[in-house]
Structure 1
Amino acid sequence: MSVTPVVARLVGACVATAVAAPAAPAVSAPPQVFAPGVISGPANDAAATFTPDGRTVYFFRSNHEDYDILASHFDGARWSPPVLAPFSGRWRDLEPAMSPDGRYLIFASSRPADDRGRAPDGHWGGQVHAGKGGSLWRVDRRGDGWSAAVRLPDAINFSDATFSPAIAADGTLYFMAATGAQGHFRLYRAPYAHGAYGAPQPLPFSSGAWSDVDPAVAPDQSFIVFSSTRPPASKTLDVFVAFRDGAG
Protein backbone atom coordinates (compact mmCIF):
# COMPACT_ATOMS: atom_id res chain seq x y z
CA MET A 1 0.00 0.00 0.00
CA SER A 2 1.08 3.59 -0.64
CA VAL A 3 0.44 6.11 2.14
CA THR A 4 -0.42 9.72 1.36
CA PRO A 5 -1.29 12.59 3.71
CA VAL A 6 -4.82 13.86 3.23
CA VAL A 7 -5.13 17.64 2.97
CA ALA A 8 -6.92 17.89 6.30
CA ARG A 9 -6.04 18.12 9.97
CA LEU A 10 -7.81 16.13 12.66
CA VAL A 11 -9.02 18.69 15.17
CA GLY A 12 -10.31 17.35 18.46
CA ALA A 13 -12.32 14.13 18.21
CA CYS A 14 -13.67 14.50 14.68
CA VAL A 15 -14.68 11.53 12.55
CA ALA A 16 -15.02 11.98 8.78
CA THR A 17 -15.62 9.75 5.78
CA ALA A 18 -14.33 10.81 2.37
CA VAL A 19 -13.70 9.38 -1.10
CA ALA A 20 -10.73 10.88 -2.91
CA ALA A 21 -8.70 10.25 -6.06
CA PRO A 22 -5.12 9.12 -5.44
CA ALA A 23 -3.43 11.96 -7.31
CA ALA A 24 -5.43 14.94 -6.06
CA PRO A 25 -7.76 14.47 -3.08
CA ALA A 26 -11.00 16.26 -3.84
CA VAL A 27 -12.45 18.75 -1.39
CA SER A 28 -16.23 18.82 -1.24
CA ALA A 29 -18.49 21.24 0.62
CA PRO A 30 -17.23 22.47 4.00
CA PRO A 31 -18.05 20.04 6.82
CA GLN A 32 -21.07 20.83 8.96
CA VAL A 33 -21.96 19.82 12.49
CA PHE A 34 -24.27 16.80 12.32
CA ALA A 35 -27.70 17.34 13.92
CA PRO A 36 -26.54 20.12 16.27
CA GLY A 37 -28.29 20.19 19.60
CA VAL A 38 -29.77 16.73 19.06
CA ILE A 39 -26.86 14.40 18.34
CA SER A 40 -23.91 16.79 18.44
CA GLY A 41 -23.85 18.65 21.74
CA PRO A 42 -21.58 19.72 24.59
CA ALA A 43 -20.30 16.19 25.27
CA ASN A 44 -17.81 14.32 23.09
CA ASP A 45 -19.84 12.67 20.32
CA ALA A 46 -17.89 10.49 17.88
CA ALA A 47 -17.61 7.42 15.66
CA ALA A 48 -20.98 7.63 13.92
CA THR A 49 -22.04 4.51 12.01
CA PHE A 50 -25.25 4.17 10.01
CA THR A 51 -27.63 1.38 9.12
CA PRO A 52 -27.69 0.58 5.37
CA ASP A 53 -30.85 2.67 4.84
CA GLY A 54 -29.21 5.68 6.50
CA ARG A 55 -32.13 6.16 8.88
CA THR A 56 -30.49 5.05 12.12
CA VAL A 57 -27.16 6.20 13.48
CA TYR A 58 -25.15 4.68 16.32
CA PHE A 59 -22.36 6.66 17.95
CA PHE A 60 -20.63 6.99 21.29
CA ARG A 61 -20.85 9.84 23.76
CA SER A 62 -18.35 10.48 26.51
CA ASN A 63 -17.52 12.97 29.23
CA HIS A 64 -14.01 11.49 29.68
CA GLU A 65 -15.28 9.08 32.35
CA ASP A 66 -18.51 7.55 31.00
CA TYR A 67 -18.57 6.12 27.48
CA ASP A 68 -21.93 4.99 26.10
CA ILE A 69 -23.23 3.95 22.69
CA LEU A 70 -26.39 5.80 21.69
CA ALA A 71 -28.85 5.47 18.82
CA SER A 72 -30.93 8.03 16.94
CA HIS A 73 -33.53 7.58 14.20
CA PHE A 74 -34.41 9.80 11.24
CA ASP A 75 -38.13 10.22 10.52
CA GLY A 76 -37.68 11.94 7.17
CA ALA A 77 -37.49 15.41 8.64
CA ARG A 78 -35.36 15.26 11.78
CA TRP A 79 -33.26 13.02 14.00
CA SER A 80 -34.79 11.76 17.23
CA PRO A 81 -33.21 12.45 20.63
CA PRO A 82 -30.54 9.77 21.14
CA VAL A 83 -31.29 6.85 23.44
CA LEU A 84 -28.94 4.38 25.07
CA ALA A 85 -28.31 1.28 22.95
CA PRO A 86 -29.66 -1.83 24.73
CA PHE A 87 -26.22 -3.46 24.85
CA SER A 88 -24.50 -0.42 26.37
CA GLY A 89 -24.54 1.57 29.60
CA ARG A 90 -22.54 -0.41 32.16
CA TRP A 91 -19.00 -0.37 30.77
CA ARG A 92 -16.92 2.01 28.67
CA ASP A 93 -18.42 1.27 25.26
CA LEU A 94 -17.18 3.16 22.24
CA GLU A 95 -16.48 3.18 18.51
CA PRO A 96 -19.39 1.20 17.05
CA ALA A 97 -19.04 -0.12 13.50
CA MET A 98 -22.07 -1.36 11.56
CA SER A 99 -21.59 -4.21 9.13
CA PRO A 100 -22.38 -3.10 5.56
CA ASP A 101 -25.43 -5.40 5.46
CA GLY A 102 -26.71 -4.15 8.83
CA ARG A 103 -26.85 -7.64 10.32
CA TYR A 104 -24.35 -7.02 13.11
CA LEU A 105 -22.38 -4.32 14.87
CA ILE A 106 -18.90 -4.49 16.39
CA PHE A 107 -17.73 -2.10 19.08
CA ALA A 108 -14.89 -1.61 21.55
CA SER A 109 -15.55 -2.04 25.26
CA SER A 110 -13.79 -2.15 28.60
CA ARG A 111 -16.07 -4.95 29.81
CA PRO A 112 -14.23 -8.02 31.15
CA ALA A 113 -14.28 -11.22 29.13
CA ASP A 114 -16.79 -12.91 31.44
CA ASP A 115 -18.89 -9.72 31.86
CA ARG A 116 -18.19 -9.84 35.60
CA GLY A 117 -15.60 -8.26 37.84
CA ARG A 118 -13.65 -5.10 37.10
CA ALA A 119 -12.77 -3.53 33.81
CA PRO A 120 -9.28 -4.55 32.66
CA ASP A 121 -6.36 -2.16 32.49
CA GLY A 122 -5.04 -1.08 29.12
CA HIS A 123 -1.41 -0.59 28.14
CA TRP A 124 -0.46 1.92 25.46
CA GLY A 125 1.79 4.89 25.03
CA GLY A 126 4.18 3.48 27.62
CA GLN A 127 1.57 3.87 30.36
CA VAL A 128 -0.95 1.77 32.26
CA HIS A 129 -4.51 3.05 31.87
CA ALA A 130 -6.39 1.66 34.86
CA GLY A 131 -9.80 0.24 33.97
CA LYS A 132 -9.57 1.56 30.42
CA GLY A 133 -8.53 -1.53 28.50
CA GLY A 134 -10.38 -2.37 25.32
CA SER A 135 -11.50 -5.43 23.39
CA LEU A 136 -13.88 -5.92 20.47
CA TRP A 137 -17.41 -7.23 20.96
CA ARG A 138 -20.24 -8.09 18.57
CA VAL A 139 -24.03 -7.85 18.73
CA ASP A 140 -26.31 -9.38 16.08
CA ARG A 141 -29.57 -7.92 14.85
CA ARG A 142 -32.61 -9.70 16.31
CA GLY A 143 -35.76 -8.25 14.78
CA ASP A 144 -35.95 -4.68 16.03
CA GLY A 145 -33.41 -5.35 18.78
CA TRP A 146 -29.96 -6.79 19.37
CA SER A 147 -28.51 -9.97 20.79
CA ALA A 148 -26.36 -10.09 23.90
CA ALA A 149 -22.83 -8.87 23.27
CA VAL A 150 -20.27 -11.58 22.46
CA ARG A 151 -16.54 -11.02 22.73
CA LEU A 152 -14.57 -11.65 19.55
CA PRO A 153 -11.98 -14.46 19.71
CA ASP A 154 -8.70 -14.03 21.57
CA ALA A 155 -6.91 -14.10 18.22
CA ILE A 156 -8.53 -10.72 17.51
CA ASN A 157 -8.34 -9.45 21.09
CA PHE A 158 -4.66 -10.29 21.53
CA SER A 159 -3.96 -6.87 23.08
CA ASP A 160 -5.57 -5.28 26.13
CA ALA A 161 -5.81 -2.12 24.03
CA THR A 162 -7.85 -3.16 20.99
CA PHE A 163 -10.12 -0.46 19.57
CA SER A 164 -11.66 1.18 16.48
CA PRO A 165 -13.21 -1.61 14.39
CA ALA A 166 -14.02 -1.06 10.71
CA ILE A 167 -15.81 -3.63 8.55
CA ALA A 168 -15.39 -4.17 4.79
CA ALA A 169 -18.18 -5.44 2.55
CA ASP A 170 -16.93 -9.04 2.73
CA GLY A 171 -16.71 -8.94 6.53
CA THR A 172 -12.95 -8.38 6.73
CA LEU A 173 -12.23 -6.63 10.01
CA TYR A 174 -9.80 -3.75 10.46
CA PHE A 175 -8.87 -2.42 13.89
CA MET A 176 -6.10 -0.85 15.94
CA ALA A 177 -4.17 -2.49 18.77
CA ALA A 178 -1.25 -1.41 20.93
CA THR A 179 1.79 -3.66 21.17
CA GLY A 180 5.50 -3.40 21.87
CA ALA A 181 7.53 -1.62 24.51
CA GLN A 182 6.44 1.86 23.42
CA GLY A 183 2.83 0.83 23.13
CA HIS A 184 2.21 2.48 19.78
CA PHE A 185 -1.00 1.57 18.01
CA ARG A 186 -0.79 -0.42 14.78
CA LEU A 187 -3.52 -1.18 12.27
CA TYR A 188 -4.52 -4.79 11.70
CA ARG A 189 -6.59 -6.70 9.17
CA ALA A 190 -8.39 -10.01 9.81
CA PRO A 191 -10.15 -11.74 6.88
CA TYR A 192 -13.60 -13.19 7.50
CA ALA A 193 -14.90 -16.35 5.83
CA HIS A 194 -17.39 -19.08 6.71
CA GLY A 195 -18.32 -17.36 9.96
CA ALA A 196 -14.78 -17.13 11.36
CA TYR A 197 -11.88 -14.70 11.34
CA GLY A 198 -8.46 -15.53 10.02
CA ALA A 199 -5.34 -14.54 11.91
CA PRO A 200 -5.01 -10.75 12.04
CA GLN A 201 -1.96 -9.28 10.33
CA PRO A 202 -0.57 -5.75 10.68
CA LEU A 203 -1.00 -3.61 7.61
CA PRO A 204 2.31 -3.38 5.75
CA PHE A 205 2.69 0.37 6.25
CA SER A 206 1.83 0.24 9.98
CA SER A 207 5.17 -0.70 11.56
CA GLY A 208 4.64 0.53 15.10
CA ALA A 209 7.21 3.30 14.72
CA TRP A 210 4.30 5.72 15.10
CA SER A 211 0.76 5.36 16.35
CA ASP A 212 -1.74 4.66 13.56
CA VAL A 213 -5.33 4.91 14.77
CA ASP A 214 -9.01 4.99 13.85
CA PRO A 215 -9.14 3.19 10.49
CA ALA A 216 -12.02 3.72 8.06
CA VAL A 217 -11.92 1.28 5.15
CA ALA A 218 -13.65 1.45 1.77
CA PRO A 219 -16.22 -1.33 1.31
CA ASP A 220 -14.09 -2.91 -1.44
CA GLN A 221 -10.87 -2.36 0.59
CA SER A 222 -9.38 -0.28 -2.22
CA PHE A 223 -8.24 2.35 0.27
CA ILE A 224 -8.16 3.06 3.98
CA VAL A 225 -8.24 6.39 5.81
CA PHE A 226 -6.66 6.65 9.25
CA SER A 227 -5.03 9.10 11.66
CA SER A 228 -1.37 8.95 12.63
CA THR A 229 1.44 10.66 14.49
CA ARG A 230 3.84 9.84 11.60
CA PRO A 231 5.59 12.69 9.76
CA PRO A 232 4.66 15.34 8.94
CA ALA A 233 2.58 15.13 12.11
CA SER A 234 4.40 15.63 15.40
CA LYS A 235 2.42 15.69 18.62
CA THR A 236 -0.85 16.00 16.76
CA LEU A 237 -2.75 13.55 14.59
CA ASP A 238 -2.90 14.06 10.85
CA VAL A 239 -5.26 12.21 8.51
CA PHE A 240 -3.67 9.84 5.97
CA VAL A 241 -4.97 7.65 3.17
CA ALA A 242 -3.41 4.43 1.90
CA PHE A 243 -4.37 2.93 -1.45
CA ARG A 244 -4.23 -0.78 -2.03
CA ASP A 245 -1.66 -2.05 -4.52
CA GLY A 246 -2.68 -5.42 -5.94
CA ALA A 247 -3.10 -7.92 -3.12
CA GLY A 248 -1.09 -5.79 -0.64
Structure 2
Amino acid sequence: MRLVSKYSLAFGLFISVLVMLSSCGSRKNMVYLQSDSTQINTVYEQYIPKIQPNDILTIVVTAADPKVTAPFNPISSMTTSNMTQQTDMALRPTYTVDNKGDINLPMLGKVSVLGLTRLEAIEKIRTELSQYIKEPGVNINFNNFRVSVLGEVARPGSFIMPTERVTVLEALGMAGDLTIRGVRENVMLIREVDGQKKIHRLDLTQQNTLNSPYYYLAQNDVIYVEPNKAQINNSKLGANTNIIISIASLLITVISVLTR
Protein backbone atom coordinates (compact mmCIF):
# COMPACT_ATOMS: atom_id res chain seq x y z
CA MET A 1 0.00 0.00 0.00
CA ARG A 2 2.89 2.33 0.67
CA LEU A 3 4.13 1.71 -2.85
CA VAL A 4 0.72 2.59 -4.24
CA SER A 5 0.71 5.79 -2.18
CA LYS A 6 4.13 6.69 -3.52
CA TYR A 7 2.96 6.18 -7.09
CA SER A 8 -0.13 8.27 -6.42
CA LEU A 9 1.96 11.07 -4.94
CA ALA A 10 4.44 10.96 -7.81
CA PHE A 11 1.62 11.07 -10.35
CA GLY A 12 0.05 14.07 -8.61
CA LEU A 13 3.36 15.92 -8.51
CA PHE A 14 3.96 15.15 -12.19
CA ILE A 15 0.61 16.64 -13.20
CA SER A 16 1.21 19.73 -11.03
CA VAL A 17 4.62 20.35 -12.59
CA LEU A 18 3.15 20.04 -16.08
CA VAL A 19 0.45 22.59 -15.27
CA MET A 20 2.97 24.99 -13.72
CA LEU A 21 5.33 24.74 -16.68
CA SER A 22 2.54 25.26 -19.21
CA SER A 23 1.42 28.41 -17.35
CA CYS A 24 4.83 30.07 -17.31
CA GLY A 25 5.41 33.03 -19.60
CA SER A 26 8.43 35.21 -20.23
CA ARG A 27 8.52 38.97 -19.73
CA LYS A 28 8.95 39.66 -23.44
CA ASN A 29 5.64 37.92 -24.14
CA MET A 30 3.72 39.86 -21.50
CA VAL A 31 4.87 43.50 -21.34
CA TYR A 32 3.31 46.06 -23.67
CA LEU A 33 5.35 48.40 -25.89
CA GLN A 34 8.78 47.31 -24.73
CA SER A 35 11.61 49.82 -25.11
CA ASP A 36 13.56 49.74 -28.36
CA SER A 37 15.05 52.18 -30.88
CA THR A 38 11.71 52.88 -32.59
CA GLN A 39 10.98 56.56 -33.18
CA ILE A 40 7.33 57.27 -32.40
CA ASN A 41 5.74 59.49 -35.04
CA THR A 42 2.06 58.59 -34.85
CA VAL A 43 -0.09 61.32 -36.38
CA TYR A 44 -3.80 60.87 -35.77
CA GLU A 45 -4.72 63.12 -38.69
CA GLN A 46 -3.34 60.50 -41.10
CA TYR A 47 -5.78 57.88 -39.83
CA ILE A 48 -8.97 59.81 -39.05
CA PRO A 49 -11.99 57.53 -39.69
CA LYS A 50 -13.95 58.34 -42.84
CA ILE A 51 -17.72 58.28 -43.16
CA GLN A 52 -18.96 54.99 -44.63
CA PRO A 53 -22.30 53.70 -45.94
CA ASN A 54 -24.72 52.75 -43.14
CA ASP A 55 -23.07 55.11 -40.66
CA ILE A 56 -25.57 56.90 -38.45
CA LEU A 57 -24.78 60.58 -37.92
CA THR A 58 -26.26 63.02 -35.45
CA ILE A 59 -26.34 66.45 -37.11
CA VAL A 60 -27.35 69.59 -35.25
CA VAL A 61 -27.51 73.03 -36.87
CA THR A 62 -27.05 76.18 -34.78
CA ALA A 63 -27.21 79.93 -35.40
CA ALA A 64 -27.45 83.24 -33.56
CA ASP A 65 -31.22 83.12 -34.06
CA PRO A 66 -32.44 79.64 -33.02
CA LYS A 67 -35.72 80.12 -34.92
CA VAL A 68 -34.01 79.98 -38.32
CA THR A 69 -32.54 76.55 -37.51
CA ALA A 70 -35.92 74.92 -36.78
CA PRO A 71 -36.39 73.55 -40.33
CA PHE A 72 -32.96 71.90 -40.13
CA ASN A 73 -33.48 70.43 -36.64
CA PRO A 74 -36.92 68.82 -37.00
CA ILE A 75 -36.83 67.19 -33.57
CA SER A 76 -35.02 69.87 -31.60
CA SER A 77 -38.29 71.76 -31.05
CA MET A 78 -39.39 68.88 -28.78
CA THR A 79 -36.64 69.56 -26.26
CA THR A 80 -37.48 71.29 -22.99
CA SER A 81 -35.53 72.62 -20.07
CA ASN A 82 -36.62 69.61 -18.00
CA MET A 83 -35.00 67.04 -20.28
CA THR A 84 -31.84 65.29 -19.22
CA GLN A 85 -28.77 65.47 -21.46
CA GLN A 86 -29.23 61.79 -22.40
CA THR A 87 -32.86 62.38 -23.45
CA ASP A 88 -31.88 65.48 -25.40
CA MET A 89 -29.21 63.53 -27.30
CA ALA A 90 -31.74 60.79 -28.12
CA LEU A 91 -34.10 63.38 -29.65
CA ARG A 92 -31.52 65.04 -31.85
CA PRO A 93 -31.96 64.38 -35.57
CA THR A 94 -30.01 61.43 -36.96
CA TYR A 95 -29.30 60.53 -40.56
CA THR A 96 -28.23 57.21 -42.03
CA VAL A 97 -25.67 57.29 -44.81
CA ASP A 98 -27.10 55.34 -47.76
CA ASN A 99 -25.23 52.87 -49.95
CA LYS A 100 -24.15 55.68 -52.26
CA GLY A 101 -22.72 57.70 -49.40
CA ASP A 102 -25.50 60.32 -49.27
CA ILE A 103 -27.59 61.72 -46.44
CA ASN A 104 -30.93 63.41 -46.98
CA LEU A 105 -31.04 66.70 -45.07
CA PRO A 106 -34.08 68.99 -44.65
CA MET A 107 -34.11 71.81 -47.20
CA LEU A 108 -30.75 70.76 -48.64
CA GLY A 109 -31.83 67.38 -49.97
CA LYS A 110 -29.15 64.78 -50.70
CA VAL A 111 -25.61 65.63 -49.61
CA SER A 112 -22.72 63.28 -50.36
CA VAL A 113 -20.50 62.63 -47.33
CA LEU A 114 -18.88 59.37 -48.42
CA GLY A 115 -15.19 59.21 -47.57
CA LEU A 116 -15.21 62.50 -45.67
CA THR A 117 -13.91 62.92 -42.16
CA ARG A 118 -16.28 64.32 -39.57
CA LEU A 119 -14.69 67.78 -39.82
CA GLU A 120 -14.79 67.72 -43.62
CA ALA A 121 -18.48 66.81 -43.54
CA ILE A 122 -19.14 69.67 -41.09
CA GLU A 123 -17.48 72.17 -43.40
CA LYS A 124 -19.34 70.88 -46.46
CA ILE A 125 -22.77 71.06 -44.80
CA ARG A 126 -21.96 74.47 -43.32
CA THR A 127 -21.18 75.76 -46.81
CA GLU A 128 -24.47 74.36 -48.13
CA LEU A 129 -26.40 75.97 -45.26
CA SER A 130 -24.89 79.39 -45.88
CA GLN A 131 -27.49 80.05 -48.57
CA TYR A 132 -30.22 79.81 -45.93
CA ILE A 133 -28.56 80.82 -42.64
CA LYS A 134 -26.06 83.53 -41.85
CA GLU A 135 -22.91 82.05 -40.28
CA PRO A 136 -24.43 78.66 -39.44
CA GLY A 137 -22.87 76.26 -36.99
CA VAL A 138 -22.89 72.50 -37.57
CA ASN A 139 -22.10 69.70 -35.16
CA ILE A 140 -21.78 66.11 -36.37
CA ASN A 141 -21.21 63.01 -34.25
CA PHE A 142 -21.09 59.31 -35.07
CA ASN A 143 -24.00 57.49 -33.46
CA ASN A 144 -22.71 54.03 -34.29
CA PHE A 145 -18.96 54.18 -33.75
CA ARG A 146 -18.88 50.63 -32.45
CA VAL A 147 -15.83 48.47 -31.76
CA SER A 148 -16.00 44.78 -30.82
CA VAL A 149 -13.34 43.09 -28.69
CA LEU A 150 -13.33 39.29 -28.54
CA GLY A 151 -11.16 36.45 -27.28
CA GLU A 152 -8.84 36.47 -24.28
CA VAL A 153 -9.95 39.71 -22.61
CA ALA A 154 -11.62 40.22 -19.25
CA ARG A 155 -14.93 41.56 -20.63
CA PRO A 156 -15.45 40.71 -24.32
CA GLY A 157 -18.22 42.58 -26.10
CA SER A 158 -19.17 45.47 -28.38
CA PHE A 159 -18.63 49.04 -27.23
CA ILE A 160 -20.07 52.32 -28.50
CA MET A 161 -17.27 54.89 -28.44
CA PRO A 162 -17.97 58.45 -27.33
CA THR A 163 -15.50 59.76 -29.91
CA GLU A 164 -14.00 58.53 -33.15
CA ARG A 165 -10.48 59.14 -31.84
CA VAL A 166 -9.91 55.78 -30.18
CA THR A 167 -6.86 53.52 -30.16
CA VAL A 168 -6.57 49.76 -30.00
CA LEU A 169 -5.17 50.06 -26.46
CA GLU A 170 -8.16 52.14 -25.35
CA ALA A 171 -10.57 49.59 -26.80
CA LEU A 172 -8.77 46.76 -25.00
CA GLY A 173 -8.92 48.84 -21.82
CA MET A 174 -12.70 49.13 -22.16
CA ALA A 175 -12.79 45.33 -22.43
CA GLY A 176 -10.85 45.00 -19.18
CA ASP A 177 -7.43 44.36 -20.80
CA LEU A 178 -6.01 41.07 -22.03
CA THR A 179 -6.02 38.14 -19.67
CA ILE A 180 -2.74 36.52 -18.70
CA ARG A 181 -3.53 33.89 -21.36
CA GLY A 182 -3.88 36.32 -24.28
CA VAL A 183 -1.26 36.45 -27.04
CA ARG A 184 0.00 40.02 -27.11
CA GLU A 185 2.32 39.58 -30.09
CA ASN A 186 -0.37 38.67 -32.62
CA VAL A 187 -3.58 40.60 -31.97
CA MET A 188 -5.96 40.39 -34.92
CA LEU A 189 -7.80 43.46 -36.20
CA ILE A 190 -10.62 42.97 -38.73
CA ARG A 191 -11.63 46.07 -40.69
CA GLU A 192 -14.09 46.56 -43.52
CA VAL A 193 -12.85 48.77 -46.36
CA ASP A 194 -14.98 49.40 -49.45
CA GLY A 195 -17.23 46.48 -48.56
CA GLN A 196 -14.35 44.03 -48.09
CA LYS A 197 -13.12 42.74 -44.74
CA LYS A 198 -9.36 42.74 -44.27
CA ILE A 199 -7.27 41.23 -41.47
CA HIS A 200 -4.29 43.00 -39.91
CA ARG A 201 -1.96 41.87 -37.12
CA LEU A 202 -0.59 43.98 -34.27
CA ASP A 203 2.27 43.15 -31.91
CA LEU A 204 1.42 44.96 -28.69
CA THR A 205 4.80 44.10 -27.16
CA GLN A 206 6.61 46.32 -29.69
CA GLN A 207 6.71 50.11 -29.66
CA ASN A 208 6.47 50.29 -33.45
CA THR A 209 2.80 49.33 -33.06
CA LEU A 210 2.27 53.00 -32.15
CA ASN A 211 3.26 53.86 -35.74
CA SER A 212 0.87 51.34 -37.28
CA PRO A 213 -1.93 52.70 -39.51
CA TYR A 214 -4.22 50.41 -37.49
CA TYR A 215 -3.28 51.80 -34.08
CA TYR A 216 -6.24 54.17 -34.38
CA LEU A 217 -9.51 52.34 -34.91
CA ALA A 218 -12.31 52.85 -37.41
CA GLN A 219 -16.01 52.25 -36.85
CA ASN A 220 -17.07 48.60 -36.75
CA ASP A 221 -13.52 47.31 -36.22
CA VAL A 222 -13.26 43.90 -34.57
CA ILE A 223 -10.32 43.05 -32.30
CA TYR A 224 -9.60 39.40 -31.54
CA VAL A 225 -7.07 38.20 -28.96
CA GLU A 226 -6.15 34.56 -29.41
CA PRO A 227 -5.29 32.27 -26.46
CA ASN A 228 -1.69 31.24 -25.88
CA LYS A 229 -0.46 27.65 -26.16
CA ALA A 230 -0.75 27.09 -22.42
CA GLN A 231 -4.44 27.97 -22.49
CA ILE A 232 -5.03 25.72 -25.48
CA ASN A 233 -3.20 22.88 -23.75
CA ASN A 234 -5.12 23.48 -20.54
CA SER A 235 -8.36 23.33 -22.49
CA LYS A 236 -7.32 19.99 -23.94
CA LEU A 237 -6.34 18.80 -20.48
CA GLY A 238 -9.67 19.94 -19.06
CA ALA A 239 -11.60 18.17 -21.79
CA ASN A 240 -9.68 14.95 -21.15
CA THR A 241 -9.61 15.14 -17.34
CA ASN A 242 -12.03 12.25 -16.87
CA ILE A 243 -10.02 10.06 -19.22
CA ILE A 244 -6.75 10.91 -17.44
CA ILE A 245 -8.28 10.21 -14.03
CA SER A 246 -9.68 6.88 -15.27
CA ILE A 247 -6.31 5.83 -16.71
CA ALA A 248 -4.51 6.91 -13.54
CA SER A 249 -6.96 4.96 -11.39
CA LEU A 250 -6.52 1.89 -13.58
CA LEU A 251 -2.73 2.13 -13.36
CA ILE A 252 -2.83 2.48 -9.58
CA THR A 253 -5.18 -0.52 -9.34
CA VAL A 254 -2.93 -2.64 -11.56
CA ILE A 255 0.17 -1.66 -9.56
CA SER A 256 -1.67 -2.43 -6.32
CA VAL A 257 -2.58 -5.92 -7.57
CA LEU A 258 0.91 -6.65 -8.87
CA THR A 259 2.68 -5.54 -5.69
CA ARG A 260 0.58 -7.51 -3.18
TM-score, normalised to structure 1, is 0.22
More helix by share: 2
More strand by share: 1
TM-score, normalised to structure 2, is 0.21
